[in-house]
Amino acid sequence: MADLTLSRNIADPDRFYDTLMAVHDGLSKDESDALNARLILILANHIGDEEVLNKALHLAAQTGKSEDS
Amino acid sequence: MTKIFERPLYPYTRHADQDAVSPVRHKVVIIGAGPVGLAAAIDLAQRGVPVVVLDENDRVSFGSRAICFAKRTLEILDRLGCGDITTEKGVTWDQGRVFFDEREIYNFHLLPEEGHKRPAFINLQQYYFEQFLVERAQALAAEGAPLEIRGRNRVEAIGAHTDHVRLEIETPEGPYEVQAEWLIACDGANSPTRRMMGLDFVGRVFEDNFLIADVIMQADFPTERWFWFDPPFNRGQSALLHKQPDNVWRIDLQLGWDIDREAEKAPERVIPRIKQMLGEDVEFELEWVSIYTFQCRRMERFRHGRVIFAGDAAHQVSPFGARGANSGLQDVDNLCWKLARVIDGRSPDWLLDTYDFERVYGADENILNSTRSTEFITPKSEISRVFRDAVLDLAETQEFARPLVNSGRLSVPCRYDDGPLNGADAEELPTRTRPGAPLTDAPLGDGWLLDQLGPDFTLLAIDTDLPDSPLPEDMTCLQTTRADSPVLAERYAGDQSSAVYLIRPDQHVCARWAQFDAAAVEAAFLQATGQSRGGAHG
């Protein structure tokens, strides 16, 4: 079953977030955007399963302030 | 009616020390009658150590200031004799709401673990917290305990010597001198003691201002914690609303760095902001308004010979996560039994260095946690704001994103993993009660485990007999069984059939075993009291 994991799955969320922020330290916005793009591709490859990836892409597109211009 | 913070609670009176021909020497002098200094005075006096508290003021502090008091603090107050009155006066809440922009993105119920005497935390104005400590200190003094509080006694100069500390004190009737064998500086973030001794206080100043307001509201507003990220009434910033006793609500508004502090404090500026927050038709009255910036920093060492720093004087954190006063109380908890033992000659001086080790470790943990909260609340770069907002957007519909939302983490006491006083560990026993960990409370008999511990060391035995062999000095025994308290047995013995714990006077675990072994207990006791290491560490 190709299910997107949407329950809590990170043991130490604060530490993860801290590390995520730390890799962006000192980067320009363009450099950060590029890093994020690479990170998405790395994680996507790790996941592999097309059905899971499609669910994740769909969820990301759906959430947020989509009503804004 | 005058409010509690308007009344002198320990007014200046002339003391015989002021007329002494040569300076009188005291065992312990504490500078500062805030939460930390008062708690230290009570703890030491209860241990029979004579203590004099000097404060430049004569009353409790104005404004709510430290507002959240965590469970561990209430447990320490139980030990100090004012846990009930403090908890009863405090407000306990269990529902929180998180807002982002104009919408509520989620709400939560705290589901505290059952089987603890005290709640996860209470909200209470600092002036009440201090009042209950002053009253407890005065009650102890009335019973003959060696404790006095001298109001309007401001320390003007400090001379640290090898066997004592000299203090020059200014009073309304002029200066006088005393000597202290030990000095505990609990004189706050701007510690004059630290400055007079020329000691560094390094760390990170966050470039931000916060407006805090105490608002009295008669309206029937829910007892909940509300936190706003980027609300319409405070664009690009955050806001927090918290309930306190007496219909006083605490509001924290982040203001940013480039502001006119005096203008922001003016009622004509504050009141419209609060109306936007609470709703136009909510009636309220302002009790206190203050603006502060904050730092995350600590002293390199908390002990300097015979001068020991505790609370904000030693370390300062951002306000997110309630780690200021709560960590100061843990400093006191850690320090006082050690100082009492060193003064009595029951332990070597080296034991006090372990205060430094353990509480610096605690301060670093608090600084780490509050820095993480600050960085989430106040993103420091465009990309960190992008991630922050992405977390908030996802949190509205996705439960997995909510643990990443960080508006301040609940203060929990630190575990002294790898602490110098930790002894043997039986790893088959539960992880949460490993050596160095603060005790987890549990129901026991008609009461609670923590209330039944001795004032000094305790040997806790679960489903095992303690042989008649004599125990080390200063140790009381507490025996129980899984049948007596299944919750206690589950927390301390886990799936093992028996367990023995050696517990420190500050209710942290020293060492533990599956079965009683007199020689092992003795060895752990000598280590926990600094006696088996004193030689090695000088």
Tell me the three-class secondary structure of B400-443, residue by residue.
HHHHHCCCCCCCCCCCCCCCCCCCCCCCCCCHHHCCCCECCCCE
Q: What is the pLDDT of residue A65?
A: 57
Q: Judge whether residue B56 has pLDDT over 70.
A: yes
pLDDT at B536: 39
- Listed as ranges, residues in chain A with pLDDT below 50 are 66-69
Lowest model confidence (mean pLDDT) among B29-38, B145-154, B190-199, B267-276: B267-276
* pLDDT > 90 in chain B, percent: 76
Query: What pLDDT digit, counting tens, does each position of B109-142 carry?
Result: 887 899 999 998 899 999 999 999 999 999 999 9
Q: For residue B238, tell me if it sits in a domain.
A: no
pLDDT at position A1 is: 55
As a whole number, the mean pLDDT across chain B is: 93
Q: What is the mean pLDDT of residues B375-379?
A: 90
Contact (CB<8Å) B396/A63: yes
B185: CATH: 3.50.50.60
Judgement on whether residues B435 and B341 belong to the same structural domain of the protein: no
Contacts of A16 in chain B (CB under 8 A): 404
Are residues B464 and B345 both part of a single domain?
A: no
Tokens representing B335 are 């320090």
SS3 of B360, please? Answer: helix
Is B521 part of any domain?
A: yes
Instruction: Domain count for chain B, please give it.
Output: 2
Prediction pTM value: 0.93
Using CB atoms and an 8 Å cut-off, which of residues 11-30 of chain A contact chain B? 13-14, 16-18, 20-21, 24, 27, 29
If you average pLDDT over residues B386-406, what whole number do you get? Answer: 95
Q: What is the pLDDT of residue B409?
A: 86
From the CA of B411, how many Å to the nearest CA of chain A? 14
Q: How far is A28 from chain B (nearest CA, A)?
A: 9
What is the CATH classification number for the domain harbouring B490? 3.40.30.120
Angle subtended at Cα B425 by Cα B423 and Cα B428, rounded to the nearest 5 degrees = 170
Chain A nearest-CA residue for B392? A64
Contact A13 B404 (CB under 8 A): yes
Q: What is the pLDDT of residues B59-107, one digit of tens each?
A: 998 888 889 999 999 999 999 999 999 999 999 988 889 999 989 999 9
Instruction: Point out the domain boundary residue: B351, B366, B388.
Output: B351
Whether residue B384 and residue A24 make contact (CB cut-off 8 A), yes or no, is yes
- Between vectors from CA B179 to CA B175 and to CA B183, what angle results, nearest 5°? 110
Measured between CB atoms, which of A10, A24, A63 is closest to B383?
A24
Largest alpha-carbon pair distance within chain A? Answer: 41
Do both B437 and B344 map to the same domain? no
Cα B193 to Cα B55, B154, B180, B190, distances in angstroms: 12, 11, 14, 9
Residue B19 lies in a domain: yes
ipTM of the complex as predicted = 0.91
CA distance B272 to chain A (A): 27
Of B535 and B229, the structure prediction assigns the larger pLDDT to B229
What pLDDT does residue B534 have?
41
Q: What's the confidence (pLDDT) of residue B538?
A: 34
Tell me what pLDDT residue B296 has: 86
Does residue B108 belong to any structural domain of this protein? no
In this structure, the answer to whether residues B171 and B74 fall within a common structural domain is yes
B367 domain-assigned: no
B336 & B480 share domain: no
Q: What is the mean pLDDT of residues B458-474?
A: 84
CB-nearest partner of B398 from A6, A13, A14:
A6
**B262: amino acid identity, one letter:** E
Q: What's the pLDDT at B513? A: 97
Closest CA to B144 of B38, B55, B58, B45: B45
Shared domain for B440 and B305, answered yes or no, is: no
Is residue B37's pLDDT more than 90?
Answer: yes
Section B415-419 average pLDDT = 94
**Residue A8 touches chain B, beta carbons under 8 Å:** yes
- What pLDDT is recorded for position B200? 87
Residue B286 in domain: no
Q: Which among B376, B383, B394 has CB closest to A63?
A: B394
Structural domain includes residue B150: yes
Between these two residues, B275 and A40, which has the higher pLDDT value? A40
Residue B129 lies in a domain: yes
User: Both tokens of residue A42?
Assistant: 């790395």
Identity of the residue in A9, A32, A65 whose CB atom sits nearest the CB atom of B383: A32
> Which pLDDT does position B224 carry in this prediction?
87
Find the CB nearest A9 among B376, B391, B400. B400
Last residue of some domain: B333, B351, B369? Answer: B351
- Name the H helices within B266-399: 267-278, 325-344, 351-377, 382-397
Domain region containing B473 = 431-528
Least confident of B266-280, B294-308, B341-355: B266-280
Tell me the C-alpha distance between B201 and B296, whole Å: 10
- Tell me which of A19-33, A47-61, B216-230, B392-406 is least confident: B216-230
Do B383 and B347 meet the contact criterion of CB atoms below 8 Å apart? no
What does the pLDDT average to over B303-329? 92
Is residue B297 within 8 A of residue B364, CB to CB? The reply is no
